[in-house]
Amino acid sequence: MNISTFITVFGSGLVAGMIVLVIARKFSSGEDLDIFSGLKRLFSAISLSARQEANGKAEHEGAGVAQPATIDPREQNLYDSTQTVRNILLILTAHVQRTDKAASNSSLVLGDVKSAILALQPPTDLRDAHSSLLKEIDFVISSNSALKDELAKTHEVLTEQRRQIDALRTEVRIDGLTQLANRTAFDEKLNEMIVLHKRYSDPFSLLMVDLDYFKAINDTHGHPAGDRLLKGVAQKIKATLRGTDFLSRFGGDEYAIILIKTDIATATEVAWKLCEEVRGSRFLLDDAALTMTLSIGVAEANEMDTEETLLKRADAALYRAKAAGRNGVSIADPPK
């Protein structure tokens, strides 16, 4: 191999190294990465605002037929935005990994070129060029090594930011007061269960749970005391259920429970157990120890059900339980 071939190979490696360096600096510059920090702060602020507004709504008392699930557009926009940023981070991570591989390959090629050049015995008039070429190869290999270090740090930053985005996507599905799944998460879970039921016919049941006379608690003791009561009841219900069951705050003083692989008979037993557990508990509000009761509507999913019809049947059963005097369980009518 003559000196011209070596110079050509070296030139190609040098160009590749420079391209890799430019790409890596884009990924590792603090200015670019601050964009993601800004987005995260923005998302967190929007999430906090949405939770505060949800917690400030008038408490629900009485009953009615459930309306089709409505997702707060701000929550949906927040979720969509976090999903977009997460995808961007995944793309950047892939580029960093490819750039790191290119840097490694470039150093390997240049190392082979250097070994071949060292084996040459150039003419006297080319010795200076020979020495300069070796120095340039050493410089590019050294730059590639530094580049790989920068890429490793950038990869760590991107991984951490993706973890934070994933945590934020989870956060916007949590009720800020009770730390249960919120209405948006419930709607998604119910849709998933309906799809699985139609495909595999595994039974599942829906419980709509309402705190009896909760408005009187707010009127007598104030909303902060009512909030503590909502959290206390949520903890009591959660402790009574299986780990595989899905408990959410549906809104106001109402909870929704999805019992996995549970038929109507077993779901009714669970509902009565919840009533007994809450009725037998004492909830401390300031210096007062209060007793609370539940009204529960129970519906087992049918192959004819949609999310809307199952929710309406369970809610109608809840209405009957409250109309019958509260502190009890009512079973939903089959779908028409």
Kindly write down the DSSP assignment for every residue of 101-132, as one continuous string: HHHHHHHHHHHHHHHHHHT----GGGHHHHHH
Token pair 């670019």 is found at 32
Instruction: Assign domain 3-171 to a CATH class.
Output: mainly alpha
Token pair 């139609």 is found at 198
Span 23-66, pLDDT tens digits: 444 444 444 444 344 444 544 544 444 444 444 443 433 333 33
The full 3-state SS of 72-89, as one line of letters, equals CHHHHHHHHHHHHHHHHH
Residue 55: what pLDDT? 47
Kindly write down the DSSP assignment for every residue of 226-244, as one continuous string: HHHHHHHHHHHHHHHS-TT
CATH number of 183-331, picked from 3.40.50.2300, 3.30.70.270, 3.30.70.360, 3.40.50.300: 3.30.70.270
C-alpha separations of 19 from 108, 136, 143 in Å: 17, 16, 12
Q: Which residues of the chain have pLDDT under 50?
A: 1-40, 42-43, 45-70
Per the DSSP assignment, residues forming a β-bridge with 209 are 255, 296
Residue 143: what pLDDT? 82
Residue 182: what pLDDT? 94
CA distance linking residue 326 with residue 169, whole number of Å: 37
CATH 3.30.70.270 domain extents, the chain: 183-331
